[in-house]
Amino acid sequence: MREYDVAVIGAGVTGSAIARQLSRWKMKVALIDGAEDVAMGASRANSAIVHAGYDCPPGSLEAELNVKGNALYTRWCAELDVPLQRTGTLVAAFDEEEAENVRALYERGLKNGVPEMKILSGEEARALEPMLAENCVCALLAGTGGITCPYEMTIACAENARKNGVDWLLGRKVSAIRGTEAGFVVTAGYEDIIARRVVNAAGLFSDDVARMIGDDSFTVRPRKGEYLLMDRSAKAPKYVIFQTPSRLGKGILVSPTVDGNSFVGPTAVDQTDKTDTSVSQEGIDQLRRMAKKSAPEMDFRNVITSFAGLRAQPSTGDFIIRPSEADGRMIHAAGICSPGLTSAPAVAELVEKLLMESGLTLTEDPAYDPHRSHIRRFRDMTREQKEAAIAENPLYARVICRCETITEAEIVEAVSRGARTLDGVKRRTRAGMGRCQGGFCSPRVMEIISRETGIPMEKLTKFGAGSYLVAEKTRSGEV
Ligand SMILES: Cc1cc2nc3c(=O)[nH]c(=O)nc-3n(C[C@H](O)[C@H](O)[C@H](O)COP(=O)(O)OP(=O)(O)OC[C@H]3O[C@@H](n4cnc5c(N)ncnc54)[C@H](O)[C@@H]3O)c2cc1C
């Protein structure tokens, strides 16, 4: 059996950030996920906002880690070559009752220690953001709020962790955990591993993982959020525009993305199924109606796709980051609902501290390198850089995804970094994320993955778990 000092269960942004943070110490760490890639849970489909921190209840762990995480994003994104745009966020009010909510958020933000906040008049807000509806009466501007790319952040943390010695154990759902004198025996897919400590970062399923060691101190319930994504040619807001929050969440927002698209979302609907990420007509209708309230110019003829993510709502009403009551050698980073993307770097630091307090002796690894680079983007190169890249590697001359100008060289690099599915390549390169949504490039991307990995075409999947792309070979041998 392989032995680890720490097994991190869950390779979403929480687990991947923790794995990265631990990789600076001399110890053996495993990053385990049941899915075939990192960033397959909530970290794949969310609003991508780096929240300022005025929304969380004062005194909560969420509030503390949101504000800390927001500040840490500058360094983490610089080291990991992840996009971060401090666009600023606006919470807009459209009547006197909502204006009261905006003032309450401002007060809350002060209590949470959020810097750079200001209440703007409707006129001032519209001068900053011309897409804002004319009947806006006032807005809360938070200068530290911004946008990032959630799956890129997750992939970057996991890649950097691996570069510093962390083992990725993907496609290995943890089905049992047994406490022993030395730690735990963790059944991860087909293999048992030994771990002195376990970090439970299993998102929506973190209550199931806790129960594996007899800890039923909390439950986690899914809350769906649906989205509509607009093409890059559509008029996009400069700021993230929120409406005033309700009991269920932060309200429908209209936002630019770091790639030049825009989106509206998310809805907030409680459900029981932890796997259902379907999009409903009802949800789409609600998004269209609500988005028009903040930004009447949003043009829904430019929608290129819809998607949904599931928030992990904890029964405790706050992030659960503490040693398990059943066995203190398991540290929970559980029920990380929104703003978990923003908080991830701060969650990682807190879990590191809890592991130290649990008796792990940590020695710094002098070889630790905090840096990681994104795959070089052909479309962002100057003409001279393009010519040099093609001279060095002719695969840069073959554009596979025409909507996003993604070359074969970038796809080969994505595969060499661990992508094994169509979506894995898409998230690492943007091949298939343009207006045609992969209609043209998917078969060619599949051929490249198959050629590079030796996986037969008929075994390739869109995102793992039986999502096969072709049915079978025809008599002529084509697939
Ligand atoms: C609609 C929506 C909008 C949001 N917007 C924002 C936002 O704008 N800003 C923000 O800061 N936050 C936002 N969030 C919250 C943020 O997305 C989450 O807090 C964050 O992604 C949680 O990351 P995680 O790693 O804890 O969970 P996940 O990303 O869900 O990862 C958990 C992982 O655990 C794995 N796993 C589960 N069980 C097992 C098992 N038994 N064995 C092995 N692996 C297992 C899963 O496969 C999964 O990959 C939003 C969330 C949603 C859903």
Q: Would the CB of 339 count as within 6 Å of ligand 1?
A: yes
Q: How far apart are CA 377 and CA 398, in angstroms?
A: 13
CA of 293 to the centre of ligand 1 (A): 29
Strand-pair partners of 334 = 320
Residue type, 24: R
Checking if the pLDDT of 224 tops 70, the result is yes
Q: Would the CB of 253 count as within 6 Å of ligand 1?
A: no
Checking if the pLDDT of 474 tops 90, the result is no
Q: Would the CB of 35 count as within 6 Å of ligand 1?
A: yes
- Please answer whether residues 153 and 110 qualify as being in contact, where contact means their C-beta atoms are separated by less than 8 angstroms: no
> For residue 344, which of 37, 4, 77 has the smallest C-alpha distance?
77
Q: Note the pLDDT tens digit of each residue in 7-30.
A: 999 999 999 999 999 999 999 999
Checking if the pLDDT of 351 tops 70, the result is yes
Q: Note the pLDDT tens digit of each residue in 455-470.
A: 999 999 999 988 999 8
CA of 203 to the centre of ligand 1 (A): 5
Q: Note the pLDDT tens digit of each residue in 106-136.
A: 999 999 999 999 999 999 999 999 999 999 9
Q: Would the CB of 206 count as within 6 Å of ligand 1?
A: no
> Residue 265 CA: which ligand 1 atom is closest?
1
> For residue 415, which of 458, 439, 445 has the smallest C-alpha distance?
445
Grouping H, G, I as helix, E, B as strand and the rest as coil, residue 266 is coil
Grouping H, G, I as helix, E, B as strand and the rest as coil, residue 404 is coil
Q: Note the pLDDT tens digit of each residue in 361-403.
A: 899 999 999 999 999 999 999 999 999 999 999 999 999 999 9
What integer pLDDT is reported at residue 478 of this predicted model? Answer: 63
Q: How far apart are CA 229 and CA 247, in angstroms?
A: 25
- What kind of architecture, by CATH, is found in domain 1-374? 3-Layer(bba) Sandwich (3.50)
Percent of the chain with pLDDT over 90: 95
CA of 40 to the centre of ligand 1 (A): 8
Q: Would the CB of 342 count as within 6 Å of ligand 1?
A: yes
Checking if the pLDDT of 211 tops 70, the result is yes
DSSP character string of 50-89: E--SSSSPTTSHHHHHHHHHHHHHHHHHHHHT--EE---E
Averaged confidence pLDDT in the chain? 96
What b/e readout covers 241-278, taking b as 16+ CB neighbours within 10 angstroms?
bbbbbeeebbbbbbbbbbeebbbbbbbbbeeeebeebe
Q: Would the CB of 14 count as within 6 Å of ligand 1?
A: yes
Confidence of residue 349 (pLDDT cuts 50, 70, 90): very high
Long-range contacts of 297-300 (CB under 8 A, 24+ apart): 297/131, 297/235, 298/131, 298/230, 298/234, 298/235, 298/254, 298/262, 298/264, 299/230, 299/234, 299/235, 300/228, 300/230
What are the start-end ranges of the E strands in 297-411? 303-314, 320-323, 330-334, 399-401, 406-407
Q: Would the CB of 12 count as within 6 Å of ligand 1?
A: yes
What integer pLDDT is reported at residue 248 of this predicted model? Answer: 60
- Structure token pair of residue 385: 């850089």
CA of 209 to the centre of ligand 1 (A): 15
Q: How many residues does the chain have?
A: 479
Long-range contacts of 108-113 (CB under 8 A, 24+ apart): 108/54, 108/55, 108/56, 108/57, 108/58, 109/52, 109/53, 109/54, 109/140, 109/142, 111/58, 112/53, 112/54, 112/56, 112/58, 112/63, 112/64, 112/66, 112/67, 113/53, 113/67
In the chain, where the domains are located: 1-374, 378-459
Checking if the pLDDT of 421 tops 90, the result is yes
Residue type, 101: N
- Please answer whether residues 154 and 138 qualify as being in contact, where contact means their C-beta atoms are separated by less than 8 angstroms: no
Q: Kindly tell me the burial class for residue 293, based on how many C-beta atoms sit within 10 Å of its own C-beta (0-12, 13-18, 19 or more).
A: middle
> Residue 69 CA: which ligand 1 atom is closest?
11
Q: Would the CB of 265 count as within 6 Å of ligand 1?
A: no
Mutate to test the pocket of ligand 1, among 33, 212, 321, 342 (most ligand atoms within 8 A of CB): 33
Q: Would the CB of 13 count as within 6 Å of ligand 1?
A: yes
Enumerate the active-site residues.
51
- Structure token pair of residue 258: 């770091």
> Residue 204 CA: which ligand 1 atom is closest?
30
β-pairing, 2-9 vs 29-33, is: parallel
What integer pLDDT is reported at residue 249 of this predicted model? Answer: 64
Confidence of residue 247 (pLDDT cuts 50, 70, 90): low
Residue type, 339: P
Task: Tell me the backbone φ, ψ of residue 366, rounded to 5 degrees.
Answer: -65, -20
CA of 201 to the centre of ligand 1 (A): 9
CA of 226 to the centre of ligand 1 (A): 15
Q: Would the CB of 309 count as within 6 Å of ligand 1?
A: yes
Q: Would the CB of 196 count as within 6 Å of ligand 1?
A: no
Mutate to test the pocket of ligand 1, among 8, 46, 286 (most ligand atoms within 8 A of CB): 46
- Atom 25 of ligand 1 has which residue's CA nearest to it? 12
> Residue 16 CA: which ligand 1 atom is closest?
25
CA of 341 to the centre of ligand 1 (A): 8
Q: Region 304-312: what's the mean pLDDT?
A: 97
> Residue 13 CA: which ligand 1 atom is closest?
25
Checking if the pLDDT of 329 tops 90, the result is yes
Q: Kindly tell me the burial class for residue 171, based on how many C-beta atoms sit within 10 Å of its own C-beta (0-12, 13-18, 19 or more).
A: middle
Confidence of residue 92 (pLDDT cuts 50, 70, 90): very high
CA dist 194 to 10, 181, 226, 326, 363, Å?
17, 11, 39, 18, 20
Q: How far apart are CA 328 and CA 353, in angstroms?
A: 13
Question: What is the reported pTM?
Answer: 0.97
> Residue 338 CA: which ligand 1 atom is closest?
15
Confidence of residue 477 (pLDDT cuts 50, 70, 90): low
- Please answer whether residues 310 and 268 qualify as being in contact, where contact means their C-beta atoms are separated by less than 8 angstroms: no
Q: Would the CB of 338 count as within 6 Å of ligand 1?
A: yes
Domain 378-459 has CATH 2.40.170.20: no
CA of 305 to the centre of ligand 1 (A): 21
Q: Region 31-40: what's the mean pLDDT?
A: 97
CA of 311 to the centre of ligand 1 (A): 7
Q: Do domains 1-374 and 378-459 have the same CATH topology?
A: no
What integer pLDDT is reported at residue 479 of this predicted model? Answer: 56
Percent of the chain with pLDDT over 70: 98
- Structure token pair of residue 339: 């703003």
> Residue 35 CA: which ligand 1 atom is closest?
47
